[in-house]
Structure 1
């Protein structure tokens, strides 16, 4: 999994074009972008989830075992509630990363703000379009981060 995390997304996107064409029947458009987005995000989210779970004190797990909890009960009653703020934070960071990845996907025909910024802003030498896309992406990332932070505060138990 670490191999895919080390590859810059734009390179992964182009490298996966033949594989994407086999999977979804095309190498451009929204459907084609989903395959490399998934491959790019899966190792990232897996590492974030792992880190959230590793932050749980082992004493909590040992105490629940000592009280006779089954493995399923440990997961449902200890691991998930304790890791929930970290998992929500991981989902927020992953979603923000996917916004950036999907904007890069626009450079190879995936559509969306990335394609508008690239095609009409960069290629078309239109700074207004480029700046507008940039501002919209910043606002989108801000809204995602703001929402994620609010959810983390709501699920944190202290």
Structure 2
């Protein structure tokens, strides 16, 4: 399955917050907490890819962003993913959707932090292939 027809349908910003009390601008060290998740809408042949990022200092989040992208999948291909009990989607394709979502999150982060002291925090490149290690399976 080398070619999967899909279309980016919608971008959602679910969370965005600065927590000024948790940020110490004298401390240059910070951690990045990353979470990628997926969901499906079988009735519309659609996949949702979500990314939540937290920038943290001293185990406290000071910048939080969560973005999702909704993708329509070619209904003919969707049938190839499904059987009576499950929807199973190849890991390489899911990783590709996650890469698009991470890139979108990076753009939203830049836009939301523009002209603030938090604009220096750029979402680094992430090896999404390491995060999506197996085909993603959903029960119907």
Shorter-chain TM range is 0.3 to 0.5
- TM-score norm. by structure 2 comes to 0.38
RCO greater where, 1 or 2, for CA within 8 Å and sep 6 or more?
2
Q: Which has the higher helix share?
A: 1
- TM-score norm. by structure 1 comes to 0.35
The higher radius of gyration belongs to 1
